[in-house]
């Protein structure tokens, strides 16, 4: 029989494991205060993501005046971010705080599928919104005929089907998994949910995220340049004829350009660190500490909480619609026909 000290040491070791089994992952034990703080931050981010995007879905769906091609893209983007917050983030919160996965291998695969699907769908929609804004500002005369409801629906279809196909192939096609077997890291310990930790995945994910990012940067730089040029022309016209209306238009153009710049900055801040780390980490045999990896992935998650603030609530007509929903509700049929474009 072992000594009492040995038994106590063994019990203490089990407390740091996810499961009382051979090959179990180790838990990262945080002090209670730190653990509570992490739960609160993640819960707050999840709540903002769910409620903010749900409000966008309700507002655009309810008010007929907002049924435009651009707003259809915003509606689809908000739906993807809402589903991410509702189905993925609660379980990611528990995994991040407890450093263990307690929901089984099958749900781990489903969780990873939904996580990747909604994140990629959000990224694709942000890219399509940049294309829409580029057409609207740089080619305003032809924009109504070039970007119709039909075109918006095509973009939405591509924005959902491509991520679904891409994620399904790598998570559910056995031939792909077996073919990439020699790229996989050592078998993960019991209690982890790291299906995507292989060397090929990091390099494949990088262009999938980076190229939409590059497109956004190029288009928004052009948008910013054109908007500033239009603002200068309008300012010159307003000085020559003394029209206050043109001055207001100039301010509106500058505000739109600044909003687009903020959108690009938030996108880069949230996604590039995680994407670059995923690619580099695959070359260095996955040396990123779990805590750092969780921080990076939650930065990417929080972009979904920022999207309603950047793309929707910064525009006055949306703020008016949100105010109506919060004060009168959506059950009054007369509110659905209000025209927010009449100033």
Between CA 115 and CA 92 the distance in angstroms is 9
Q: Is residue 215 part of a domain?
A: no
Which CATH number characterizes residue 153's domain?
1.20.1070.10
Q: Is residue 282 part of a domain?
A: no
Among 262, 253, 311, which residue's Cα sits nearest to residue 132?
311
DSSP code of residue 116: H
Q: Is residue 53 part of a domain?
A: yes
Q: Is residue 77 part of a domain?
A: yes
Residue 7, CB-side half-sphere exposure with 13 Å CA sphere: 4
The distance in angstroms from the start CA to the end CA of the chain is 85
Domain tally, the chain: 1
Helical residues (DSSP H) of 15-104, grouped into ranges: 32-62, 69-87, 89-98
Between CA 263 and CA 241 the distance in angstroms is 35
225 sits in which H/E element:
helix 199-241
Q: Is residue 3 part of a domain?
A: no
**pLDDT string in tens for the chain (343-residue length):** 444 444 444 443 345 778 877 777 778 777 888 889 989 999 999 999 999 999 999 989 888 888 889 889 999 999 999 999 999 999 999 988 888 888 888 898 899 899 989 999 998 998 898 888 888 888 888 888 888 999 999 999 999 999 999 888 877 766 455 545 544 444 567 777 765 555 566 667 777 777 888 888 888 888 878 877 776 776 676 666 555 444 444 455 456 556 666 777 888 888 888 888 877 776 776 677 777 888 888 988 988 998 888 877 777 778 888 888 887 766 666 667 676 655 4
Q: Is residue 35 part of a domain?
A: yes
Q: Is residue 273 part of a domain?
A: no
What pTM was computed for the model? 0.83
């Amino acid at each position: 029989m072992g000594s009492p000290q040995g038994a106590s040491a063994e019990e203490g070791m089990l407390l740091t494991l996810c499961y009382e089994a051979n090959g179990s992952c180790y838990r990262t034990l945080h002090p209670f205060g730190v653990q509570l703080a992490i739960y609160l931050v993640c819960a707050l981010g999840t709540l903002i993501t769910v409620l903010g995007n749900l409000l966008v879905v309700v507002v655009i769906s309810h008010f007929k005046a907002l049924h435009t091609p651009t707003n259809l893209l915003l509606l689809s983007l908000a739906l993807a971010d809402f589903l991410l917050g509702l189905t993925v983030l609660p379980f990611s919160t528990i995994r991040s705080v407890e450093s263990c996965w307690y929901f089984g291998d099958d749900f781990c695969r489903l969780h990873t599928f939904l996580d990747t699907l909604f994140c990629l769908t959000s990224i694709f929609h942000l890219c399509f919104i940049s294309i829409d804004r580029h057409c609207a500002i740089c080619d305003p005369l032809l924009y109504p005929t070039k970007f119709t409801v039909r075109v918006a629906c095509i973009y939405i279809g591509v924005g959902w089907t491509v991520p679904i196909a891409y994620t399904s192939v790598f998570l559910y096609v056995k031939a792909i998994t077996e073919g990439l077997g020699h790229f996989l890291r050592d078998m993960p310990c019991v209690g982890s949910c790291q299906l995507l930790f292989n060397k090929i995945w990091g390099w494949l994910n990088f262009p999938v995220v980076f190229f939409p990012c590059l497109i956004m940067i190029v288009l928004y730089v052009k948008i910013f340049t054109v908007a500033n040029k239009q603002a200068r022309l309008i300012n010159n016209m307003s000085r020559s004829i003394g029209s206050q209306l043109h001055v207001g238009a100039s301010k509106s153009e500058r505000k739109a350009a600044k909003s687009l710049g903020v959108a690009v900055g938030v996108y880069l801040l949230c996604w590039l660190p995680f994407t670059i780390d995923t690619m580099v980490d695959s070359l260095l045999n996955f040396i990123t500490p779990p805590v750092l990896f969780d921080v990076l992935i939650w930065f990417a998650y929080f972009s979904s909480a920022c999207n309603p603030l950047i793309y929707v609530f910064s525009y006055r007509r949306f703020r008016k619609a949100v105010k109506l929903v919060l004060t009168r509700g959506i059950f009054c049929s007369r509110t659905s026909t209000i025209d927010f474009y009449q100033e």
